[in-house]
Amino acid sequence: MKGIGLDIEVIKSLSDNYIWILINYDKSAAFVVDPGEASAVLSWLKKRKIKLLGILITHHHPDHTMGVKGLLNCYDVPVYGPHNSPANCITEKLQENDDLIFHGKKFRVIEVPGHTHDHIAYFSSQIFGANHILFAGDTLFGGGCGRLFEGTAQQMYGSLEKIKELPQNTLIYSGHEYTLANLNFAISIEPNNDTLKQRYLNDLQKRNVNQPTLPSLLSLELATNPFLRVKNDSVISAVREKFNINDDSEYVIFEALRKWKDIF
Protein backbone atom coordinates (compact mmCIF):
# COMPACT_ATOMS: atom_id res chain seq x y z
CA MET A 1 0.00 0.00 0.00
CA LYS A 2 1.49 3.31 -1.09
CA GLY A 3 0.60 6.46 0.77
CA ILE A 4 1.86 9.96 1.42
CA GLY A 5 5.40 9.50 2.76
CA LEU A 6 4.82 5.87 3.68
CA ASP A 7 4.81 2.50 1.97
CA ILE A 8 3.78 -0.80 3.54
CA GLU A 9 5.08 -4.13 2.30
CA VAL A 10 4.71 -7.67 3.59
CA ILE A 11 7.14 -10.48 4.34
CA LYS A 12 5.63 -13.94 4.48
CA SER A 13 6.97 -15.84 7.48
CA LEU A 14 6.71 -19.25 9.13
CA SER A 15 3.61 -21.13 7.90
CA ASP A 16 1.06 -18.33 7.63
CA ASN A 17 2.45 -15.24 9.42
CA TYR A 18 2.68 -11.81 7.89
CA ILE A 19 5.46 -9.43 8.93
CA TRP A 20 4.55 -5.88 7.91
CA ILE A 21 7.20 -3.34 6.94
CA LEU A 22 6.68 0.45 7.09
CA ILE A 23 9.04 2.19 4.67
CA ASN A 24 9.76 5.91 4.57
CA TYR A 25 9.22 8.12 1.53
CA ASP A 26 12.75 7.77 0.07
CA LYS A 27 12.93 4.03 0.79
CA SER A 28 15.99 4.40 3.02
CA ALA A 29 14.61 3.25 6.39
CA ALA A 30 11.88 1.04 7.82
CA PHE A 31 10.04 -0.17 10.90
CA VAL A 32 9.03 -3.83 11.19
CA VAL A 33 5.83 -5.12 12.80
CA ASP A 34 5.76 -8.48 14.66
CA PRO A 35 8.92 -10.14 13.32
CA GLY A 36 8.33 -13.84 13.87
CA GLU A 37 11.73 -14.64 12.41
CA ALA A 38 14.85 -12.57 11.84
CA SER A 39 16.33 -14.15 8.71
CA ALA A 40 13.50 -13.15 6.38
CA VAL A 41 13.59 -9.55 7.60
CA LEU A 42 17.38 -9.29 7.45
CA SER A 43 17.39 -10.67 3.93
CA TRP A 44 14.70 -8.19 2.88
CA LEU A 45 16.56 -5.23 4.40
CA LYS A 46 19.87 -6.25 2.82
CA LYS A 47 18.34 -6.76 -0.62
CA ARG A 48 16.62 -3.36 -0.53
CA LYS A 49 19.56 -1.59 1.17
CA ILE A 50 17.15 -0.27 3.79
CA LYS A 51 18.09 0.55 7.39
CA LEU A 52 15.97 -0.73 10.28
CA LEU A 53 14.80 2.05 12.62
CA GLY A 54 12.58 0.16 15.06
CA ILE A 55 10.41 -2.85 15.88
CA LEU A 56 6.71 -2.82 16.76
CA ILE A 57 5.22 -5.70 18.77
CA THR A 58 1.47 -6.26 19.15
CA HIS A 59 1.66 -9.13 21.67
CA HIS A 60 4.13 -11.57 23.17
CA HIS A 61 3.43 -14.81 21.27
CA PRO A 62 6.66 -16.30 19.87
CA ASP A 63 5.48 -16.29 16.25
CA HIS A 64 5.38 -12.49 16.55
CA THR A 65 8.54 -11.96 18.60
CA MET A 66 11.04 -14.76 17.84
CA GLY A 67 12.92 -12.62 15.33
CA VAL A 68 13.53 -9.69 17.67
CA LYS A 69 16.77 -11.02 19.15
CA GLY A 70 18.29 -11.71 15.74
CA LEU A 71 17.38 -8.23 14.53
CA LEU A 72 18.86 -6.61 17.63
CA ASN A 73 22.11 -8.50 17.00
CA CYS A 74 22.41 -6.48 13.81
CA TYR A 75 20.63 -3.21 14.64
CA ASP A 76 20.57 -1.10 17.81
CA VAL A 77 16.93 -0.03 17.62
CA PRO A 78 14.00 0.47 20.02
CA VAL A 79 11.41 -2.27 20.45
CA TYR A 80 7.89 -0.90 21.04
CA GLY A 81 5.24 -3.07 22.66
CA PRO A 82 2.58 -3.47 25.38
CA HIS A 83 3.42 -2.11 28.82
CA ASN A 84 2.12 -5.30 30.48
CA SER A 85 3.81 -7.78 28.17
CA PRO A 86 5.85 -10.75 29.44
CA ALA A 87 8.13 -10.31 26.40
CA ASN A 88 11.42 -9.05 27.86
CA CYS A 89 12.60 -7.71 24.50
CA ILE A 90 10.39 -4.61 24.71
CA THR A 91 12.29 -1.41 25.49
CA GLU A 92 9.54 1.17 24.88
CA LYS A 93 6.39 0.24 26.81
CA LEU A 94 3.08 1.50 25.46
CA GLN A 95 -0.48 1.79 26.72
CA GLU A 96 -3.88 3.05 25.60
CA ASN A 97 -3.83 6.37 23.72
CA ASP A 98 -0.05 6.69 23.59
CA ASP A 99 1.00 8.43 20.39
CA LEU A 100 4.00 7.33 18.34
CA ILE A 101 5.68 9.02 15.41
CA PHE A 102 6.99 6.74 12.66
CA HIS A 103 8.54 8.31 9.57
CA GLY A 104 6.94 11.58 10.64
CA LYS A 105 3.46 10.03 10.79
CA LYS A 106 1.38 9.67 13.95
CA PHE A 107 0.03 6.35 15.26
CA ARG A 108 -2.19 5.84 18.29
CA VAL A 109 -1.98 2.81 20.57
CA ILE A 110 -5.21 0.92 21.24
CA GLU A 111 -5.30 -1.76 23.95
CA VAL A 112 -7.16 -4.79 22.55
CA PRO A 113 -6.90 -7.68 25.04
CA GLY A 114 -8.62 -11.00 24.45
CA HIS A 115 -6.26 -13.08 22.34
CA THR A 116 -3.67 -12.28 25.04
CA HIS A 117 -3.75 -10.02 28.06
CA ASP A 118 -1.07 -7.75 26.60
CA HIS A 119 -2.36 -7.20 23.06
CA ILE A 120 -2.23 -3.74 21.49
CA ALA A 121 -2.91 -2.39 17.99
CA TYR A 122 -1.36 0.55 16.16
CA PHE A 123 -3.78 2.95 14.43
CA SER A 124 -2.76 5.76 12.08
CA SER A 125 -4.34 9.01 13.19
CA GLN A 126 -3.59 10.40 9.74
CA ILE A 127 -4.83 9.26 6.36
CA PHE A 128 -2.30 7.75 3.95
CA GLY A 129 -3.65 8.21 0.46
CA ALA A 130 -7.33 7.42 0.98
CA ASN A 131 -7.09 5.28 4.11
CA HIS A 132 -6.20 5.01 7.76
CA ILE A 133 -4.29 1.89 8.73
CA LEU A 134 -4.45 -0.49 11.69
CA PHE A 135 -1.85 -3.07 12.61
CA ALA A 136 -4.21 -5.45 14.37
CA GLY A 137 -1.93 -8.39 15.19
CA ASP A 138 -4.06 -11.39 16.14
CA THR A 139 -7.10 -9.47 17.38
CA LEU A 140 -8.93 -8.98 14.09
CA PHE A 141 -8.34 -11.22 11.07
CA GLY A 142 -9.79 -11.17 7.61
CA GLY A 143 -13.29 -12.53 8.26
CA GLY A 144 -12.56 -13.55 11.85
CA CYS A 145 -10.91 -12.78 15.18
CA GLY A 146 -8.22 -14.29 17.36
CA ARG A 147 -8.64 -17.27 19.66
CA LEU A 148 -8.97 -16.57 23.36
CA PHE A 149 -5.67 -17.95 24.64
CA GLU A 150 -5.46 -15.75 27.75
CA GLY A 151 -8.27 -13.21 27.79
CA THR A 152 -12.02 -13.59 28.03
CA ALA A 153 -14.77 -13.36 25.46
CA GLN A 154 -15.92 -10.18 27.15
CA GLN A 155 -12.48 -8.62 26.69
CA MET A 156 -12.31 -9.62 23.03
CA TYR A 157 -15.82 -8.32 22.40
CA GLY A 158 -14.84 -5.00 23.96
CA SER A 159 -11.67 -4.85 21.88
CA LEU A 160 -13.54 -5.47 18.64
CA GLU A 161 -16.08 -2.81 19.61
CA LYS A 162 -13.17 -0.34 19.80
CA ILE A 163 -12.06 -1.32 16.32
CA LYS A 164 -15.61 -1.02 14.97
CA GLU A 165 -15.59 2.64 16.03
CA LEU A 166 -12.60 3.44 13.79
CA PRO A 167 -13.20 5.07 10.39
CA GLN A 168 -14.59 2.59 7.88
CA ASN A 169 -11.82 3.48 5.43
CA THR A 170 -9.27 1.87 7.76
CA LEU A 171 -7.11 -0.84 6.21
CA ILE A 172 -6.68 -3.82 8.55
CA TYR A 173 -3.20 -5.39 8.57
CA SER A 174 -3.49 -8.68 10.47
CA GLY A 175 -0.81 -11.11 11.59
CA HIS A 176 -1.92 -14.24 9.73
CA GLU A 177 -3.39 -15.44 6.45
CA TYR A 178 -6.53 -17.08 7.84
CA THR A 179 -9.08 -15.39 5.60
CA LEU A 180 -10.46 -18.27 3.52
CA ALA A 181 -10.98 -20.53 6.55
CA ASN A 182 -12.65 -17.67 8.39
CA LEU A 183 -14.93 -16.88 5.45
CA ASN A 184 -15.97 -20.53 5.17
CA PHE A 185 -17.15 -20.30 8.77
CA ALA A 186 -18.80 -16.94 8.12
CA ILE A 187 -20.76 -18.37 5.17
CA SER A 188 -22.06 -21.17 7.41
CA ILE A 189 -23.43 -18.43 9.69
CA GLU A 190 -24.81 -16.15 6.96
CA PRO A 191 -25.36 -18.24 3.81
CA ASN A 192 -27.53 -15.51 2.27
CA ASN A 193 -24.98 -12.72 2.65
CA ASP A 194 -24.15 -11.91 -0.99
CA THR A 195 -21.34 -9.53 -0.08
CA LEU A 196 -19.75 -12.28 1.99
CA LYS A 197 -20.00 -14.84 -0.81
CA GLN A 198 -18.49 -12.42 -3.31
CA ARG A 199 -15.67 -11.65 -0.90
CA TYR A 200 -14.91 -15.35 -0.62
CA LEU A 201 -14.64 -15.65 -4.41
CA ASN A 202 -12.42 -12.57 -4.63
CA ASP A 203 -10.12 -13.77 -1.87
CA LEU A 204 -10.02 -17.30 -3.28
CA GLN A 205 -8.78 -15.85 -6.55
CA LYS A 206 -6.01 -13.99 -4.68
CA ARG A 207 -4.89 -17.11 -2.84
CA ASN A 208 -4.90 -19.16 -6.04
CA VAL A 209 -2.11 -16.91 -7.32
CA ASN A 210 -0.40 -16.76 -3.90
CA GLN A 211 -1.40 -13.17 -3.16
CA PRO A 212 -2.30 -12.01 0.37
CA THR A 213 -5.95 -11.34 1.12
CA LEU A 214 -4.77 -8.56 3.43
CA PRO A 215 -5.06 -5.75 4.14
CA SER A 216 -8.85 -5.59 4.14
CA LEU A 217 -11.03 -2.55 4.64
CA LEU A 218 -12.90 -2.19 7.91
CA SER A 219 -16.04 -1.45 5.87
CA LEU A 220 -15.72 -4.90 4.27
CA GLU A 221 -15.15 -6.56 7.65
CA LEU A 222 -18.28 -4.87 9.00
CA ALA A 223 -20.26 -6.33 6.10
CA THR A 224 -18.82 -9.87 6.19
CA ASN A 225 -17.09 -10.69 9.48
CA PRO A 226 -19.55 -12.40 11.87
CA PHE A 227 -17.57 -11.34 14.95
CA LEU A 228 -18.31 -7.72 14.05
CA ARG A 229 -21.94 -8.53 13.24
CA VAL A 230 -23.30 -9.94 16.49
CA LYS A 231 -26.08 -7.34 16.45
CA ASN A 232 -27.34 -8.54 13.05
CA ASP A 233 -30.48 -10.67 13.02
CA SER A 234 -28.97 -13.32 10.73
CA VAL A 235 -26.02 -13.91 13.08
CA ILE A 236 -28.23 -13.90 16.16
CA SER A 237 -30.62 -16.44 14.60
CA ALA A 238 -27.83 -18.80 13.59
CA VAL A 239 -26.22 -18.75 17.03
CA ARG A 240 -29.51 -19.16 18.88
CA GLU A 241 -30.42 -22.15 16.72
CA LYS A 242 -26.98 -23.76 17.14
CA PHE A 243 -26.84 -23.43 20.92
CA ASN A 244 -30.54 -23.29 21.79
CA ILE A 245 -30.15 -20.06 23.76
CA ASN A 246 -32.78 -17.38 24.30
CA ASP A 247 -30.50 -14.51 25.32
CA ASP A 248 -29.66 -12.41 22.25
CA SER A 249 -27.49 -9.80 23.97
CA GLU A 250 -24.38 -8.94 21.98
CA TYR A 251 -21.90 -10.37 24.47
CA VAL A 252 -23.74 -13.71 24.82
CA ILE A 253 -23.98 -14.06 21.04
CA PHE A 254 -20.31 -13.19 20.64
CA GLU A 255 -19.16 -15.71 23.28
CA ALA A 256 -21.21 -18.48 21.67
CA LEU A 257 -19.96 -17.53 18.21
CA ARG A 258 -16.33 -17.73 19.35
CA LYS A 259 -16.94 -21.18 20.87
CA TRP A 260 -18.58 -22.27 17.62
CA LYS A 261 -15.59 -21.16 15.57
CA ASP A 262 -13.25 -23.07 17.89
CA ILE A 263 -14.96 -26.36 17.02
CA PHE A 264 -15.80 -25.58 13.40
User: Please, what is the Cα angle at 11 between 60 and 141, to 5 degrees?
Assistant: 55
Q: What is the rounded distance in angstroms from the CA atom of residue 116 to the CA atom of residue 113?
A: 6
CATH fold group of domain 2-263: Metallo-beta-lactamase; Chain A (3.60.15)
- In contact, 59 and 120? CB cutoff 8 Å: yes
- What distances in angstroms separate CA 160 from CA 75, 77, 145, 216, one per listed residue? 34, 31, 9, 15
Q: What is the 3-state secondary structure (H, E, C) of 98-139?
A: CEEEECCEEEEEEECCCCCCCCEEEEECCCECCEEEEEEECC
Predicted confidence (pLDDT) per residue in 216-238, tens digit? 999 999 999 999 999 999 999 99
Give the per-residue pLDDT at 5.
62
Average of per-residue pLDDT values in the chain: 95
Residue 16: name the closest of 159, 142, 165, 149 by CA: 142
104 burial (CB, 10 Å; 0-12 / 13-18 / 19+) is exposed
Interacting residues of 159 by C-beta distance below 8 A, sequence separation 6+: 111, 112, 113, 114, 119, 139
Predicted confidence (pLDDT) per residue in 67-101, tens digit? 999 999 999 999 999 999 999 999 999 999 999 99
- In contact, 219 and 189? CB cutoff 8 Å: no
Q: What is the rounded distance in angstroms from the CA atom of residue 237 to the CA atom of residue 245?
A: 10
Give the per-residue pLDDT at 15.
92
Model's pTM, two decimal places?
0.95
3 has pLDDT over 50: no
Predicted confidence (pLDDT) per residue in 179-223, tens digit? 999 999 999 999 999 999 999 999 999 999 999 999 999 999 999
